[in-house]
A and B are shown apart, each in its own frame.
Chain A
Amino acid sequence: DQQVKQNSPSLSVQEGRISILNCDYTNSMFDYFLWYKKYPAEGPTFLISISSIKDKNEDGRFTVFLNKSAKHLSLHIVPSQPGDSAVYFCAGGTSYGKLTFGQGTILTVHP
């Protein structure tokens, strides 16, 4: 029973274009959602989050959209840069910092 799903294992985009990473969830009890970025041989690093009562949060080039009725969230990166190439995980959070992660999407940004 996967509560958080990232159905695209990989995404390839051109530098300067928009990257859109998608995530679906089934657990309505998540209080918030987060996106993490992970480079090989490193731990995940926090990127951006959104409360379950919001529908959009923006931070520089990164915007997260939440559609509660569809139980869907997405991360938009504009413009994409080669340094954005990494694995991106979405996660749903409840109290005590317990996170449920999706499988991850490998983003490759080509120069």
Chain B
Amino acid sequence: NAGVTQTPKFQVLKTGQSMTLQCAQDMNHEYMSWYRQDPGMGLRLIHYSVGAGITDQGEVPNGYNVSRSTTEDFPLRLLSAAPSQTSVYFCASCPAAGGNTEAFFGQGTRLTVV
């Protein structure tokens, strides 16, 4: 009954370091996405994927890379961390397109870049 699992829960990086935020879902959902949450701005879409091998940019993609080699996993890579990337990151998965399709969210990764 895991749902969407994100690791790590907390991370501190130095400016310029790289890292990968992991996201895995066990619901066989086709669609997965990454959001970041900043104070007063709600959640903003970074990248999304409609299936293995297919990814696309969201609203705030700069500084992040993604890949989707399997249905279950959708990692988010920070190539060279910047203080502006300090945020809480949420991964979500969704079973299908259209309709009242709810997205299921992980518990989040709190990232601080110093």
Contact = CB atoms under 8 A, between A and B. Distances in A.
A81 interface: no
For this complex, into which size category does the number of interface residues on chain B fall? 20 to 34
Chain A interface residue number, banded: 20 to 34
Contacts, number: 76
Contact of A49 (B33, B50, B98, B100): B100
Interface string A94-111: 011111111110000000
Contacts of B99: 31-32, 51
Given A43-B4, A99-B92, A103-B41, 20 more contacts: A9-B40, A31-B98, A32-B100, A42-B107, A43-B106, A46-B102, A46-B104, A50-B100, A93-B101, A96-B94, A97-B33, A97-B48, A97-B93, A97-B94, A97-B97, A98-B33, A98-B45, A98-B58, A99-B43, A103-B42
Interface of A: 4, 6, 9, 31-32, 34, 36, 41-46, 49-51, 89, 91, 93, 95-104
Interface of B: 4, 31, 33, 35, 40-45, 48, 50, 58-59, 90, 92-94, 97-108
